[in-house]
Amino acid sequence: MRVLITGAAGFLGSHLCDRFIAEGHTVVGMDNLLTGSMDNLAHLAGHDRFSFIKHDVSQYIYVAGPIDAVLHFASPASPNDYLEYPIPTLKVGSLGTHNTLGLAKHKGARFLLASTSEVYGDPEVNPQPESYWGHVNPIGPRGVYDEAKRFAEAITMAYHRYHGLETRIVRIFNTYGPRMRLNDGRVVPNFIYQALTNQPLTVYGRGTQTRAFQYYSDLIEGIYRLLHSNETLPVNIGNPYTEMSVMELAERIVERARSQSPIICIEPTDDRIVDDPKVRRPDITRARELLGWEPRVPADEGLTQTIDYFRQRL
């Protein structure tokens, strides 16, 4: 296949490029580099089956030649990013999704949307199945990301139902691994950076909020299988076996990094934890049944690999 991957210079987009090239496909990467980095794609420079277009998908998209699949992964994805860039976040979820769907329709390509567990908001059920409609504050500071993704899902399903476009939707749960940015703002790189630089690990509140963390390679495998499946409704891809409190995550990272950093609790004075979900864990029944997919990387193994990556970067 020849595939277009938007957000190609980002954490997940760059790993997707690697996977499709490894499978023998040709990849066109697209990114405006707002939060992505060409460092993530440097190893693909000069590859005969990879090309890159610097472009903002919120603007009209032109790609010459046939395209067999469009994977839309462009978007700021951490609270730091979408609080700094609220309007671009809304635009890439709405206009960007509209433009990439239009391109897929024009090319007769299959379309895969990167959605998120954030569509469930601060959930009132745990774990969260795809049938749960969510508990989202549309006007809170996180709403720019949550509602952008909810709209993206709605327009994707509209294109499927009205235009007959082949579409797939993956709801991604907390993912970590190499190529995350040191200043990403998400909890795993935050804690690892603090542990490796002997700074206190700063836990917001009491650290009782839970997350289920998955290693990036498990997610990439699930996405690849979903694209090649026949499932048009959203599918959760996450690791329900690793649900832990933020405090427990901090303790594990200190241990795995062999750090002497203390762990301290602070009360933030900004918008980063407004509407912060108290629990987050996927129900992956559909992924098991439809894709034959299960997460395979244990939390400690993934954290060790990620800590080693950041240690080398530092």
Backbone torsions φ then ψ of 284, nearest 5 degrees? -110, 25
Please provide the DSSP assignment of 224-238 as one string: HHHHTS---S-EEE-
Q: How far apart are CA 294 and CA 260, in angstroms?
A: 35
HSE of 145, CA atoms in CB hemisphere, 13 A: 24
Tell me if residue 145 is catalytic.
yes
Angle 149-4-286 (CA atoms, 0-180°, nearest 5)?
A: 50
| Contacts of residue 58, Cβ cutoff 8 Å, sequence gap at least 6 | 88, 91, 92, 95, 96, 99
Catalytic residue among 82, 120, 145, 216: 145
The helix (H) or strand (E) run that includes residue 27 is: strand 26-31
Q: What does the alpha-carbon distance between residue 165 and residue 138 come to, in Å, rounded to a whole number?
A: 28
Rg (CA), the chain: 19
Tokens of 40: 């993530």
Question: Which residues are annotated as catalytic?
Answer: 145
